[in-house]
């Protein structure tokens, strides 16, 4: 089923000029980038986005990281886009990520792991709505 997921190319990747290389992996996997913009996340946006992790010991570090440099927020569309992008990203910890995945190829650590992808269709809808209007998504 065609669906949409939300992606972020995180600061460690934008800093190293890897936006195009990450996008190549996304597109080679058959996912279409139907919206994309480079932004500086505000602290409030990052705290809201990662609210589910606010009790975790790494929350402060994660928010500081996400606002440290620009990020690229994206909407990806394709067959089973949520699950497919999770597969393309690889495990949260790059040391455990499978060969060919974005995190195996490019991530630096469990915290600075190059990409975010929604973990469910419900969260994809919520996350997309946090950063994009319907008019900005051109499928």
Question: Which DSSP string corresponds to the chain?
Answer: -EEEEEEEE-HHHHHTT-HHHHHHHHHHTT-EEEEEEEEPPPHHHHHHHTGGGTTSTTHHHHHHHHTSS-EEEEEEEEETHHHHHHHHH--SSGGGPPTTSHHHHH--SSSS-SEEE-SSHHHHHHHHHHH--GGG---
53 is catalytic: no
5 binds ligand ADP (CB under 6 A): no
Between 5 and 23, name the residue whose CB sits nearer to ligand ADP.
5
Q: Of the residues 116, 118, 127, 131, which is catalytic?
A: 116
Between 95 and 136, name the residue whose CB sits nearer to ligand ADP.
95
Between 131 and 134, name the residue whose CB sits nearer to ligand ADP.
131
- We find the least distance from the C-beta atom of residue 135 to Mg ion, in angstroms, to be 27
Interface residues for ligand ADP in 59-118 (CB under 6 A)? 62, 92, 110-111, 113, 116
62 makes contact, choosing from Mg ion, ligand ADP, none, with CB < 5 to 8 Å by partner type, with ligand ADP
| Catalytic residue positions, numbered | 116
């Amino acid at each position: 089923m065609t669906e949409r997921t939300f992606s972020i190319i995180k600061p460690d990747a934008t800093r190293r000029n890897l936006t195009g290389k990450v996008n190549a992996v996304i597109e080679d996997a058959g996912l279409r980038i139907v919206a994309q913009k480079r932004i500086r996340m505000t602290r409030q946006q990052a705290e809201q986005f990662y609210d589910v992790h606010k009790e975790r010991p790494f929350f402060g570090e994660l928010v500081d990281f996400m606002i440290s440099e620009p990020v690229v927020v994206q909407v990806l569309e394709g067959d089973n886009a949520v699950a497919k992008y999770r597969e393309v990203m690889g495990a949260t910890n790059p040391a455990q990520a499978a060969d060919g995945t974005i995190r195996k190829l490019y991530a630096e650590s469990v915290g600075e792991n190059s990409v975010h992808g929604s973990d469910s269709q419900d969260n994809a809808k919520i996350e997309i709505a946090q950063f994009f209007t319907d008019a900005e998504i051109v499928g």
